A and B are shown apart, each in its own frame.
Chain A
Amino acid sequence: DIQMTQSPSSLSASVGDRVTITCRASQGIRSDLAWYQQKPGKAPNRLIYAASNLQSGVPSRFSGSGSGTEFTLTISSLQPEDFATYYCLHHYNYPWTFGQGTKVEI
């Protein structure tokens, strides 16, 4: 099974900061990775698909990069509504797995 190691597990940041979250796969997964944002009490919302493609309607301050085993989600200028928990998800083969999550706090 492929394991996804996400880091950091939490971070403190301020409005306007540049934030980077990393996911590492235990084996190559091509670009079969998505990033999700989840706010308390809500279902997850997809931000990035196929590692680097911005979901329609998602602000351009979000970007994704990487392929193979190393992936990054970047928020170029953190906004108040971005304080949430972020997850990566690989869908290369079964079983799919999420990263452990990164809580972005003030």
Chain B
Amino acid sequence: EVQLVESGGGLVPPGRSLRLSCAGSGITFDGYAMHWVRQAPGKGLEWVSGISWNSDSIGYADSVKGRFTISRDSAKNSLYLQMDNLRAEDTALYYCAKRGDTSLTNWGQGTLVTVSS
């Protein structure tokens, strides 16, 4: 069974940093683009960032550009999101998701990030 497991969330004051991780089991990340999507409490889905299978193509939402950095490690079958200069509006459940044939096919259960003093 394909499983994506996010970790690294928590409570952090505004302006600080946090690094999220996503590990895959029953699935190899090699050959697949991977993405981060977030959902603020009671709100809709927001696409955050995506990275191609070879890290050649990377994209960010305007709301996080310049503050967040996506990366991947094929050897560890892992995806990361470095989040710097966090703001209250970054508070959300962060999902990692695998891009399959076209769009996002497999999702983790999410890790909660709360930005508050």
Contacts and interface: CB of A to CB of B under 8 A. Distances in A.
Interface of A: 1, 32-34, 36, 38, 43-44, 46, 49-50, 85, 87, 89, 91, 94-101
Contacts, number: 62
Contact of A43 (B46, B57, B109): B109
Nearest to B4: A43
B44 A98 contact: yes
B70 to A, nearest CB: 11
Interface string B48-67: 00100000010111100000
Given A91-B103, A95-B47, A43 B110 contact: yes
B104 A95 contact: no
A89 B104 contact: yes
B45 A87 contact: yes
Residue in A87, A89, A91 with the greatest tally of chain B CB atoms within 10 Å? A91
A94 B59 contact: yes
Given A1-B62, A44-B107, A50 B50 contact: no
B29 interface: no
Contacts of B108: 43
